[in-house]
Amino acid sequence: MSARRTIRPVHTVAELREQVKSWRAAEERIALVPTMGALHSGHVALMEAARAHAERVVLSIFVNPTQFAPTEDLSRYPRTLEADLDKADAAGVHLAFVPDVGEMYPEGFATTISLAGPALGLETEFRPTHFAGVATVVAKLLIQAAPDVALFGEKDYQQLQVITRLARDIDLPVRIVGVPTVREPDGLALSSRNVYLGKEDRAAAPVLHRALSAATAQIAGGGNVLDAIDDARRAVIAAGFQLDYLEARHAASLAPVLSRAEGPIRLLVAARIGATRLIDNLAVPD
Ligand code: PAF
């Protein structure tokens, strides 16, 4: 731990609420950045953006078991709390909320949020219970921290749309803000799971961004959406990936689209290389 670290981690909802209450009494606005830790520059961008929205920034660090399927990487998900707290401190975060599983899911916990709309398809085809777990924990965090604004990375684009719709549908008084994806110089989107990539897989990984960039340029230049998507799928498969999906969707509803006339388009991809599953997305420019 850095000797100069001033951030104070709290572990209970009661402590979080007490701190938030005193900030509210001082008429300070509060921004929440929910994370599962293993913080990288993408998270730093979220924390820095949060400071522009509010006087006080709360970071939550909680590896949420309910969004992992039994076959997924919950037990080996990277946990780097001390380094995370140093990064949060350096980014100007005021409070880190670090609950344990019992605090978030007490004995007898029996409630889950059920979703449709932007949660249908894409990730849900491959991770059927994922967004119910995300929505449940995010709803809890939003109720616990009662922030004015909450920030999420566009890297998890479907998650961002699901949470935006969730907040609207159940009248949570919070503004959901998406923050652009931070990328490595070769285009690979930053992700806590990139640490799983071996050397060869890491070398192949930027193809996702290259394929999406080529397809968005093709569509923006008047090319046919399905042709552009087919080319991108072929490029990803040729680089050694097993493709889960590569789709063109309406940027807000995530409904399938066949032409630019149907609204703003977002291209989304999920693909596996070795034992690692990567996701990425890109907007088709207007
Ligand atoms: O994006 C993430 O890190 C997680 O899905 C989130 C939003 C913190 C919920 O656990």
DSSP assignment string, 129-189:
THHHHHHHHHHHHHHHH--SEEEEETTSHHHHHHHHHHHHHTT-S-EEEEEPPPB-TTSPB
Confidence of residue 2 (pLDDT cuts 50, 70, 90): low
**Minimum CA distance residue for ligand 1 atom 5:** 134
Same domain, 174 and 247: no
Domain count within the chain:
2
Same domain, 104 and 126: yes
With a 6 Å cutoff on the Cβ, whether 36 touches ligand 1 is yes
Confidence of residue 8 (pLDDT cuts 50, 70, 90): confident
- Check: CB of residue 266 under 8 Å from CB of residue 283: yes
Ligand 1 atom with least separation from CA of 36: 3
**Minimum CA distance residue for ligand 1 atom 9:** 134
Rounded Cα distance, 48 and 33, in Å: 10
The sign one gets for the Cα dihedral 272, 281, 255, 166 is: positive
**Does the annotation mark 43 as catalytic?**
yes
With a 6 Å cutoff on the Cβ, whether 34 touches ligand 1 is yes
**Domain end call among 148, 179, 210:** 179
| Active-site choice (43, 94, 130, 209) | 43
- Average the pLDDT over 58-81 and give the result: 96
Query: What is the pLDDT, as a whole number, of residue 1?
Result: 56
Same domain, 205 and 114: no
Give the distance from CA 29 to its chain's centroid: 23
Residue range of the domain that includes 221: 192-283
Query: What is the pLDDT, as a whole number, of residue 3?
Result: 63
Confidence of residue 4 (pLDDT cuts 50, 70, 90): confident
Burial 55-88 (b: 16+ CB within 10 A, else e): ebbbbbbbbbebbbeeeeeeeebbebeeebbbbb
Ligand 1 centroid from CA 217, angstroms:
30
* This prediction's pTM: 0.97
